[in-house]
Amino acid sequence: MNRLIIIEGLPCSGKSTTSKFIADKLGAVFVDEGTGSHPADYEFHSFVNNLALNTFSTEEQALIKEKSALRRDGHIVPLGEFSGELFDKLLRYKIYDFLPWETEMPIMLDKWREFVKSVKPDERYVFNCVLLQNPMCETMMRFGFDTEQSAAYIRSICDIISPLEPFVVYLHSSDIRSAIEKALPKRGTDWLNSVIDYHCNGAYGKANNIIGYDGYIKALEERQKREVEILRRLNVPYIILSDPQADWQKAYTRIEQCLENLVR
């Protein structure tokens, strides 16, 4: 039984809605992105190793230890539990965005292992992204890695989750600009400015002279190209839906046909 179904695609491709649709159809556990407590991801967490912990005051160390979980040679800290000056200090150790790759990667792979061990035999999960989107944002956009380096990391994740027999639904867009602009009234200019800044100022953006909104769209086009290439090479069953936004009824019908095979 496919116990893990992952919906992938670019921003504004319809991942959240599609994930919820599939979870409802299967009676599965739906895990959206941005919840802050993802079972297989550290969306808003810091990692403070034992050496760094000693730079905090005794009172701060006590608070950190109280709220965090021991991992490897340090503490996984949920940033949502903190505020003020201590939050600002902990933010510098955020796993996404700040840690070096050699520190981040084993922490993230350990999180996937913990998730797989926690899944009960009769449980089924539906994730909104995290197999392609999150790794590509880090490896490609933040660190500027090439496709092979990104693929190697994603394959490592697939090896870990293989006991769950994962299945991927990829929402492909042939007009990324239109998809972003259609969603912009709901997401707002603050969101747009944030993602533009992220894509322009990471290693990929700087190396490729990515500037402004047009640069952001070009970066997404390249990311989608790489994601599809990697997906086709993974030892994981998948379906790619081309421009599902053009006819959601048709897309959902095709998804339902796939789900019937998964249930069997």
Domains of the chain, residue spans: 4-44+94-263
More confident call, 256 vs 159:
159
What pLDDT, on the 0 to 100 scale, is given for residue 71?
85
The band of 113, judged by pLDDT with boundaries at 50, 70 and 90, is: very high
CATH superfamily of 4-44+94-263: P-loop containing nucleotide triphosphate hydrolases (3.40.50.300)
Average pLDDT, the chain: 95
Average pLDDT over residues 178-206: 95
Asked whether the beta carbons of 75 and 93 are under 8 A apart, the reply is: no
What pLDDT, on the 0 to 100 scale, is given for residue 9?
97
What pLDDT, on the 0 to 100 scale, is given for residue 245?
87
The band of 141, judged by pLDDT with boundaries at 50, 70 and 90, is: very high
What pLDDT, on the 0 to 100 scale, is given for residue 264?
55
Average pLDDT over residues 53-58: 97
What pLDDT, on the 0 to 100 scale, is given for residue 74?
95
Whether residue 246 is predicted with pLDDT greater than 80 in this model: the reply is yes
Average pLDDT over residues 152-164: 98
Whether residue 36 is predicted with pLDDT greater than 80 in this model: the reply is no
CA 205 – CA 197 distance, rounded (Å): 9
Whether residue 163 is predicted with pLDDT greater than 80 in this model: the reply is yes
Average pLDDT over residues 172-179: 96
Whether residue 58 is predicted with pLDDT greater than 90 in this model: the reply is yes
Average pLDDT over residues 180-201: 95
What pLDDT, on the 0 to 100 scale, is given for residue 263?
60
Average pLDDT over residues 79-90: 97
What pLDDT, on the 0 to 100 scale, is given for residue 107?
96
What pLDDT, on the 0 to 100 scale, is given for residue 260?
84
